[in-house]
Amino acid sequence: MIKGLNLFFTGFFLSLLIGGCQENKKDHFSLNSIKDLKTRQYAIEGQVLYENHCANCHQSDGSGLGRLIPPLKDADYLKADIGRTVRLIKHGIKGKIIVNGKEYNKEMPANPALTNLEIAEITTYIYTVFTGEEKIIGVKEVKSFLEE
């Protein structure tokens, strides 16, 4: 009887331990879970571009770099204006910005060589993965935002 209880409690505590260590699905959005094929294609290409052009500062997980580089993950600044994000990627930014209530004042360099398609793919990736909402930003939208 005692041996059976020990086995039961061991299994119970192991299941709690394993369950507690699992990643929160809300904190990680899988590209494979994107339903729309075009959105998924843009996001996959955008991930590669993000890793090459953005992750060095904003980190692979979008968490930013302390008080120097703002986060992209769940960033109110990002969510507030897609057009501004597109223009920042293309033209960079200087000066103070407030992201999630914290001030940042580090220059973000411009990426003038990126095409409208590449910016569309990066922004699709950023908005889908870091805000948790499946969202495609198309080439025509990017072109329109850059003409503003």
Which has the closest alpha carbon to 40: 51, 32, 49, 28?
32
The pTM (predicted TM-score) of the whole model is 0.80
Domain edges within the chain: 27-147
User: Which pLDDT does position 57 carry in this prediction?
Assistant: 96
Residue carrying the six token digits 């339903």? 35
Residue 13 burial by CB count (10 A; 0-12/13-18/19+): exposed, middle or buried?
Answer: exposed
* pLDDT one-digit tens code per residue, 67-126: 999 999 999 999 999 999 999 999 999 999 999 999 999 999 999 999 999 999 999 999
Top CATH class, 27-147:
mainly alpha
User: Which pLDDT does position 25 carry in this prediction?
Assistant: 39
State the Cα–Cα distance between residues 15 and 9, nearest whole angstrom.
10
| Helix (H/G/I), strand (E/B), else coil: 104 | strand
User: Which pLDDT does position 1 carry in this prediction?
Assistant: 55
Instruction: Determine the Cα angle at 76 with ends 146 and 112, to 5°.
Output: 25
User: Which pLDDT does position 31 carry in this prediction?
Assistant: 87
